[in-house]
Amino acid sequence: MMSPYSICILISSVLGLGLAIPSHTCIVMGNLDIIRKKAKLSPTDVIFLAKGIVNLLLQCVMTLQGMLFVFCLEAFNIRQVFVFMNTSVYFLTYYNFWLTFWLSAHYCTTITNLSYGFFIWLKRIVSNFLSHLLFLTALGIVIVSVLGFWAVNEESLIQSSVNSTNVSVISLYKVFSYYVPANTLGVILPFCLSLLCLVLTSSFLLRHVWRVKNNDSGSTRPNLQAHVTALRTIFFLLLIFTFFCMYQVISFLQSSSLSVGFWNLQLLSPSVEAAIIFQASNKLRRIILRRFWIRSWRNTET
């Protein structure tokens, strides 16, 4: 008989897969539809397309991981399976976080129009070389994921060890040699950079609204809906960062109940990101609604 933890993971795995596949498929197909019509993708569209592909793969791997945990826990004793699952999840998660940073950087450089040399350079490369940046970022994340691969191998050695003193020594060595550099480069660095972009963008908009209100109160207020949507998007994506960081800390502390709870949240995170992307992109919403409208119209005609 399955334990309550296993039932929760099974429900989250099935629900996450059922929500993530159609939603992220719509995101990918919507952007591919723009390419098919010979239109040029904006930087946000390119990042949303990459996020759709990454989250689709991430959901499939995490669901498979959850199914194996529920129905075939012995599979994780096979080193190849254990290493493949963990390395794939870490690579896709780290890359997704860096995609969030590039999206935040694009919003920041577009909205703030800061005159500092670094921001002018960042805006130029994000606008003109975004595809190259995403490719180079993926290569860098592959190198970072190798650290996770070593950590997974070290963890399997820890589990097979008998001497408790050796276990504690190897665990401490593993943390400082593998997990700390990997999570610093894959999670903490993009989180801090994205947070910096959020703070700069928010402060710029607040100063802009304050100037308009105090210097030209008789004029109409500027339409800041697109900027507010951008800030809301960065904020919600940073919340997903936070949940992942909490999951990492709790997993290290080996608190089983909390770890399973945050794992359930991780299983649903790609679906949450799909909802965030849809609220951020009017273009995607129009494409999806038009496609469903045409399909329903054809069904009524037949």
- Report helix, strand or coil for 283: helix
CB 243 within 8 A of CB 269: yes
Q: Residue-wise pLDDT tens for the chain (302 aa)?
A: 667 778 888 888 889 899 999 889 989 988 888 888 877 888 899 999 999 999 999 999 999 988 888 888 788 778 778 778 888 888 999 999 999 999 999 998 888 877 777 778 888 888 888 889 999 999 999 888 876 666 555 555 544 444 444 444 455 555 566 777 888 888 889 999 999 989 988 988 888 778 777 765 544 455 678 888 888 999 999 988 888 777 777 766 655 667 777 777 888 889 999 999 998 888 888 877 776 665 555 555 55
- What whole-number distance in Å separates Cα of residue 167 and Cα of residue 285? 52
- What whole-number distance in Å separates Cα of residue 57 and Cα of residue 59? 5
**First-to-final CA distance of the chain:** 49
The CATH homologous superfamily for domain 4-283 is Rhodopsin 7-helix transmembrane proteins (1.20.1070.10)
| pTM for this entry | 0.84
CB 256 within 8 A of CB 9: no
Task: Give CA 301 to chain center in angstroms.
Answer: 41
- What whole-number distance in Å separates Cα of residue 230 and Cα of residue 108? 9
- What whole-number distance in Å separates Cα of residue 28 and Cα of residue 33? 9
Half-sphere exposure in the Cβ direction for 76 (13 Å, CA): 17
- pLDDT score for 277: 92
- What whole-number distance in Å separates Cα of residue 46 and Cα of residue 288? 17
With b for 16 or more beta-carbon neighbours within 10 A and e for fewer, the 180-207 pattern comes to eebbebbbebbbebbbebbebbbebbee
CB 86 within 8 A of CB 152: yes
* Residue 198 CB partners (closer than 8 Å, separation 6+): 104, 108, 231, 234, 235, 238
